Structure 1
Amino acid sequence: MFITYLKERRSWILLFLLLQFLIIFIAYIDSAVSMESALYYVFLSAIIFVIFILIRYQREMKFYQELKDAEDLLGFSDRELLSPFEGMVAESITHHFEVLKKAVSENGRRLDQEKDELLSWIHEVKTPLTALRLMIDRLEDQALKKEMTYEWLRIHLLLDQQLHQKRIPFMENDLYIEQTDLESVIFGEVKTLQSWCIQKGIGFDIDLEYNEVMTDAKWLAFILRQLLTNAVKYSDASDIQIRSGEWNGQIILEIADEGRGIDSRDLPRIFEKGFTSTVHHQDHAATGMGLYLARKAAQPLKIRIDVESAPGKGSTFTLTFPKSNEFLQITGM
């Protein structure tokens, strides 16, 4: 900090050195001025200047150190002891800080209001969407029924994704960790996608060696919904393999499809928000949110999601559930 102060005051130091050099130069060219007296004056001046620098350093850097370390810019101590310039700086910073603080508070309030309004709208839309599903079920024209069921499912999944996206920042308040039956969760999600899968000729091959895991059933269902939706969306007539097993003392769940796969250069970015693809960049069906939200939801549950894929060979997503000691971190026990 002292070096920084000297750099800041280098104009003072240069002026002082110039004045001392001027005195010595005058003594050198003017015989009426004693060189010994001039050097003695320079020596005393140097001592006084060093003392002055040290005192000013202690006085001024106290203010700037407070400015550097202050978490609350309103907390300058001993404001009455500040110099006029320091007081002006402190007053200006305090004023702008208060303005920014009010702006942040107002923006936060507006965002909370918009979030609440959006959540309310989503819940309101669910009512006519449920009624629409009942109307679709009563249709006798099977071709029309399949098409409308598919479009209904698309709307339902988009609303569900939006709803959970707004809840994820606060999902730790909603966690309920318990022994969860994998089969019931998986079959529930498969049933939701059934009409879409029938339309595309996609089946499921499910083999669960381990059927129970400690997790939150609702959020696990959301994660599986994103992975299965992607698998169905980017696959043609084929089977999606769902397997559970054990690896390194942890239960894993694999979801493998035979779809178009993911290019190697895209793999590191598929969990980024809004990323779709570099190879299929013109694919308007992709939103770039499903995998991002899946990983965001998996993090509080200590579930690791890995992926292996190659173009034209499909993709395999692996969910690794936490060990017992990691589970204790989730529950806080």
Structure 2
Amino acid sequence: MVTAWNVCRGVRLNLVKEFVMLRIFLKQHRSYIIVYVLNFILISYLVFVTGAAIDDRLISYAGLLSFVLLVLFLVWRFWQMRPLYEELSKSVMQLEDMKVNLPKKDAVTAQFVQYMDQQYKVGREALLEAEANNEQWRLLIINWVHHMRSPINGLRLALENKREGAYYELLLECDRLDQQLDTILNLARVSSIASDLVIEELDLNDVLKTAINNHKRQFIYKQITPAFKSITDAYVYSDRKWLTFIIEQLLRNALKFSRMNSVMTCTVMRTDGAISLIITDQGVGIPASDLPRVFELYFTGYNGRHNKSSTGIGLYLVKQVASELNIKVCIESEEQVGTQITLTFPQ
């Protein structure tokens, strides 16, 4: 029964395709048919007006013969131009297929293919030039970030031995500057992330603890307590570097908008066979009108306009990298209560 249905469906699609080609053909040759009809009417009118003694049967025979010749011409023309109509009836036309399949003897078709070939070459050259410029920009950003990190690391080392008062705040500013450079660096790299992935089995608890430890100064400065809840067997398949980046970016956002002396809860749990990481803060929350757009590039929203350090890049990168790692990202928030972001890993 399924086979019969597939056959019927195939026949129906072929009929639709033939109808589309015939409609295109008739539109193109409509002027031929109109000229033929007008010519036949004009000749008949002249014969009638002049009163020429011509047998009606002869006129009918001539008209029929002329009509048959018109039909034969249209049939021949349709068969000759059929490859063109087949290409035009496709939703997507491939230039190479057109160059092979289209009739070479038709001057208009040949000129059309030549024009399309020229336009393709121009477009291809423009695309290659744009890709080259984009690659140059990407390499420039990467090199610039690496050069900027040298003085930052030197400044951090100079401050490590003086952790009180203003020195500690300078260390925090070094951390923030380093994180911003990381964000710009990853924005430049995100387009080629697929070639940089190394998928392996990871202990999500270890990755999470490392990410929290990397931000211990910010936790201490804002007096935010990280609460850690987890299952024992929390192994996932992912890329260590990029998974760490996702978690650290979410922690930075939570730290940025959390209140002083609050609690940030990080929960690793298993639901329906899938492992999830839930990060919940006690911050200002996100307005409901901003939630649908938080993953858009450069979108800062209401909170971002009041927090000058917001760039609108972090969550965009989280979404892009998570998509490459097949991680589902969900965000829930309530104003003046807090925000909860859930990462669900593939089973």
Per the normalisation by structure 1, the TM-score is 0.86
Contact 1:150/1:195, CA 8 A, preserved across alignment: yes
Of the three residues 284, 304, 309, the one matched with 2:328 is: 304
Of the three residues 179, 184, 190, the one matched with 2:201 is: 179
The match for 2:145 is 122
Contact 1:66/1:76, CA 8 A, preserved across alignment: no
Of the three residues 288, 296, 300, the one matched with 2:312 is: 288
Give the deviation of 1:244 after TM superposition: 1.1
The match for 2:57 is 36
Q: What does 1:1-333 correspond to in 2, within 5 Å?
A: 1-32=21-52, 33-63=54-84, 65-66=86-87, 70-73=93-96, 76-77=99-100, 81-139=104-162, 142-210=164-232, 212-214=234-236, 215-237=238-260, 238-277=262-301, 281=305, 283-323=307-347
Contact 1:185/1:217, CA 8 A, preserved across alignment: yes
Q: CA-to-partner distance for each residue in 1:175-196, whole Å, 9 max, x for gaps?
A: 3333323333223222332222
Stretch deviating more after TM superposition (232-241 or 194-203) = 194-203
Give the aligned residue type for 1:297: V
In the aligned structure 1, how far is the partner of 2:186 from the partner of 2:213?
A: 20
Give the deviation of 1:26 after TM superposition: 3.2
Give the deviation of 1:272 after TM superposition: 2.2
Stretch deviating more after TM superposition (212-221 or 278-287) = 278-287
In the aligned structure 1, how far is the partner of 2:288 from the partner of 2:56?
A: 80
Give the deviation of 1:92 after TM superposition: 2.4
Give the deviation of 1:204 after TM superposition: 1.0
In the aligned structure 2, how far is the partner of 1:114 from the partner of 1:160?
A: 16
Q: CA-to-partner distance for each residue in 1:294-320, whole Å, 9 max, x for gaps?
A: 121112222111122111221111111
Distance 1:256 1:124, change over 3 A: same
Q: CA RMSD in A?
A: 2.5
Stretch deviating more after TM superposition (152-161 or 114-123) = 114-123
Q: CA-to-partner distance for each residue in 1:254-285, whole Å, 9 max, x for gaps?
A: 10011111222322222222222257656543
In the aligned structure 1, how far is the partner of 2:102 from the partner of 2:307?
A: 61
Contact 1:179/1:212, CA 8 A, preserved across alignment: no
Stretch deviating more after TM superposition (5-14 or 82-91) = 82-91
Per the normalisation by structure 2, the TM-score is 0.83
In the aligned structure 2, how far is the partner of 1:250 from the partner of 1:232?
A: 27
Contact 2:276/2:342, CA 8 A, preserved across alignment: yes
Aligned length: 322
- Unpaired stretches in structure 2, ≥5 consecutive residues: 1-20
